[in-house]
Amino acid sequence: MDHIREHRSVLATAEKSLLIAIARRLPPWLSSDHLTVLGLLAMPAAGLAFALIPVTPWAAAWFAVALAINWFGDSLDGTLARVRQQPRPRYGYYVDHVIDLAGTAALIGGMAGSGLMTPTIALTLAAAYFLVSAETFLATHSVGVFRLSFAGVGPTELRILLAIGAFFVARNPWATIAGHRALLLDVGGAIAAAGLAGVFVISSVRNARALYLQEPLPPKPPSPEVQQRYAGAPALQGETM
């Protein structure tokens, strides 16, 4: 696909070097499709593990492992294809993002199912995430830039934050804010949703402005009266018909 990948997260440079090193050492029988399936299966497993945190705190560890497996499959499939010079840009772009959308829905569903996040906050978070995703996909095709991170936070950093948050809520799911007791995940989810909404607005305005400057309004056509006035006028001297 004809677009620029812009990845400026905190760990982007180190992560890229690590992924290339791992891809070069993978056995020949392991394909990028295998890694894609691995990443796909890991996210429902992560959602289920999170839903089980109130039952057993050990589920937080299973959640972190599932996120790590998802990182391995989701981040390495494209890298492996490029290292082996077997790129499938349109297929990879489409399948990766369909899987990401489904995986995020499963993950947020697991958070809501755990009882550690209220359904209203979970729906708000999901809506904000899908808004940002849709705007990102539109910008990729309209502006030609695919941004994988915002404010230094990309998918890898987000996985790390989620894993840390799971261990916190496994120990104590409550937080006290200004004297009010609230679920820690509700507070974090509300902050994340607000941040995503801000990203959506900023990105939308920035990309709309860039496209407007590239495609300004054409000159206003003359009024019907002016067109009629000059419709029968003879051609100016030297003007070719």
- Taking 70 as the threshold, does the pLDDT of residue 72 lie above it? yes
Alpha carbon of 156 to those of 59, 64, 72, 136, 159: distances in Å? 20, 12, 10, 17, 5
The C-alpha torsion from 221 through 224 and 228 to 231, rounded to 10°, is 30
Domains and CATH numbers, the chain: 9-216 (1.20.120.1760)
Closest Cα partner for 39 from 67, 20, 16? Answer: 67
Phi, psi of 90 (to 5 degrees): -70, -45
Indicate if the pLDDT at residue 241 is higher than 70.
no
Arithmetic mean of pLDDT over the chain: 91
* pLDDT of amino acid 167: 96
Give 167-219 pLDDT, tens digit per residue: 999 999 999 888 889 999 999 999 999 999 999 999 999 999 999 999 988 88
% of the chain with per-residue pLDDT over 70: 94
Structure confidence at residue 222 (pLDDT): 72
The pTM of the full predicted model, rounded to 2 decimals, is 0.88
- The secondary structure of the chain in percent helix, strand, coil, rounded to multiples of 5, reads 70, 5, 25
In this model, does residue 238 exceed pLDDT 70? no
Average pLDDT over residues 116-126: 97
The predicted structure's pLDDT at residue 152: 87
Q: Among the listed ranges 59-73, 134-148, 210-224, which one has the minimum average pLDDT value?
A: 210-224
